[in-house]
């Protein structure tokens, strides 16, 4: 799933990317 891919991506790139991705997801879910 896209969530799994995002989790692995975050692990690879760190917390800053994780925060950015979280905001992007929040916008898409609205």
As separate numbers, helices (DSSP H) first and strands (DSSP E) second, the chain gives 2, 0
Show the tokens assigned to 1: 């799933």
Cα–Cα distance between 23 and 21 in angstroms, integer? 5
Q: Tell me, what's the pLDDT at 17? A: 67
pTM to 2 decimals? Answer: 0.40
Q: Tell me, what's the pLDDT at 29? A: 86
Q: Tell me, what's the pLDDT at 1? A: 76
Q: Tell me, what's the pLDDT at 19? A: 78
Show the tokens assigned to 29: 């879910």
Contacts of 22 (CB under 8 A, 6+ apart): none
Cα–Cα distance between 25 and 6 in angstroms, integer? 10
Q: Tell me, what's the pLDDT at 3? A: 80
Domain ranges for the chain, please list them: 1-30
Name the one residue in this structure whose structure tokens are 């898409």: 28
Over residues 1-30, the pLDDT tens digits come to 778 887 777 676 666 666 788 889 889 888
């Amino acid at each position: 799933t896209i969530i799994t891919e995002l989790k692995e991506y975050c692990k690879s790139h760190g917390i800053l990317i994780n925060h950015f991705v979280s905001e992007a997801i929040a916008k898409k879910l609205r």
